[in-house]
Amino acid sequence: MRPKGSSASSTPDIANRKMFSVAALGLLTAATVVTSLRTLPMMAQEELTMFFYIGFAALLFLIPAGLVSAELGSAFSERTGGVYTWVGEAFTPKVGFVAIWLQWIECIVWYPTELGFAAAAVAYAVGDNTIAQNTYYIGGFCILAYLLATLIALTGTRFLVKVAQFGFLVGIVFPCLILIILAVWWVVSGNPIGWETLTDPEVAVRRDGYDHPRWFPHINGLGAIAFLGGILLAFAGVEAQATHVSELRDTRRGYPAVIAIAAVISILVFTLGALSIAAILPYKEISVETGLFTAYERAFGQLLGVQWPVQALSWLIGYGALSGALAWLAGPSRGLLATAQDGMLPPWFQRENRVGVQKNILLAQFVVVAAISSIYILMDNVSTAFVLISVMAISLYIIMYIMMFAAVIRLRITQPDLPRSFRIPGGLPGVCIVAGIGLISVVFALVVSFFPPEQLTIKNPVTYVALNLAGIAIAITVPLLIFYFHNPSWRGEGGHQQQSFSDIDE
């Protein structure tokens, strides 16, 4: 019988080897934050006001979330479960279960939007971008691509990590570097810079008879900045690989460095990538769906008189988006396995394959993702489906972050002597300030997420809000019902390594 404090799995691939270096887990964490270049056009569409939004997300969300994840991750470095362990230790196992459930469900809802972008990239790669608006193509691609990702995940963490890391470098970092080089070349060659020709009052202000780019958003109601939640979600995920902290070779001191690597890479990719698109394309030509590819086409056509590199880069970008999905497969589903081993899910969900991968949870994920991907097939407008699915994902994830920020404060109060190799500076006041800033930012983003973004056309705002509310209600009610009806006999042999959970049935 495995002792209660032992690892959740005895397989060499998962538990008995310290398989991650700081750099390796740092890249994997960066890949869960920058899952693709999909959000660059959305940021670029804000022109120079992007610095406000990116600064808001980085300073008031990414950095607090990173610091909180570093402290919690180092405190429970020998425990798997991620936010389940953190929130469960701070409050109760039930609350921890809701937290990991929200993170897992957010991933499920998010996968089709990410893979939909990969489908668009492949459409450009084959030279027929018109099929990117074909709902049957998008839906079918999402289902098949996620099936491939699941099969890769089932081979084991080592192979999955290698594929995800390689995809991040060649499918995200490399295309972004090419975009930045093209933008610099575009500017030094004397071509018109996109933000120098602005006239739209949303992104430009008129002074002394001339139009100048805005540096601060034109706020005429909450709807004007509602898509801030989307940019906030673009920086989310820094905590997602915390389930692998026990596999880090330098568990206690290495995880803060992992967070730092991921944060720096994320800020650089988003800022420089979006700025490059805004430099190459006029404001009116930046499309949320196709702006990235249009920027490549314009730059290569104008500077080199060729288009074939766009197709080559599109293949890489599609692979990068797929690798982003792979990076997320490795984290939240592992945390959900910990809850299953603690008896919160039926024994069927505890089953692992010969290399220690949570095979039945991944199978359940595939079924749900395939069902959600069918929305693309059933709806006439792919853009509408993209927006509606994204709205739900934003709200669910923000609520999980509220729980995480609250957890770090409570743990400093209830377990002040818990060994932490990394502590947020300033004692309890410092933790309250850092986590408080994070709480304020995510609560604000949650509120504005109920207002349809003015940058996107939503015919029925009531539907927009109703779907968001319904998604939140269902996502929170389901784990509470599961916990209420769970059977103590579901608990696996020895359970998950929750030594300080006083009573798993509370």
Residue indicated by tokens 């060659």: 189
Does domain 28-490 correspond to CATH entry 3.40.50.1370?
no
The greatest distance separating any two alpha carbons of the chain, rounded to the nearest whole angstrom, comes to: 79
Report how far residue 100's alpha carbon sits from residue 487's, in angstroms, rounded to the nearest whole number.
19
pLDDT at position 199, please?
60
Q: Which DSSP symbol is given to 213?
A: E
Give per-residue pLDDT as tens, 195-230: 777 666 666 666 766 666 777 777 665 555 666 666
pLDDT at position 10, please?
36
Q: Residue 381, by phi and psi: left (phi above 0), alpha (psi -120 to 50) or beta?
A: beta
Question: Band of the pLDDT at 8, cuts 50, 70, 90?
Answer: very low
Task: Name the burial class of residue 207, with classes exposed (0-12), middle (13-18) and buried (19+) by CB atoms within 10 angstroms of its CB.
Answer: exposed
**For the whole model, what pTM was predicted?**
0.82
pLDDT at position 54, please?
85
In the predicted structure, residue 284 carries a pLDDT above the cut 70: yes
Q: Quote the percentage of the chain above a pLDDT of 90.
A: 21
Give per-residue pLDDT as tens, 451-465: 776 555 555 677 777
In the predicted structure, residue 12 carries a pLDDT above the cut 60: no
Give per-residue pLDDT as tens, 28-62: 888 888 888 888 888 888 878 888 888 888 888 88
pLDDT at position 180, please?
96
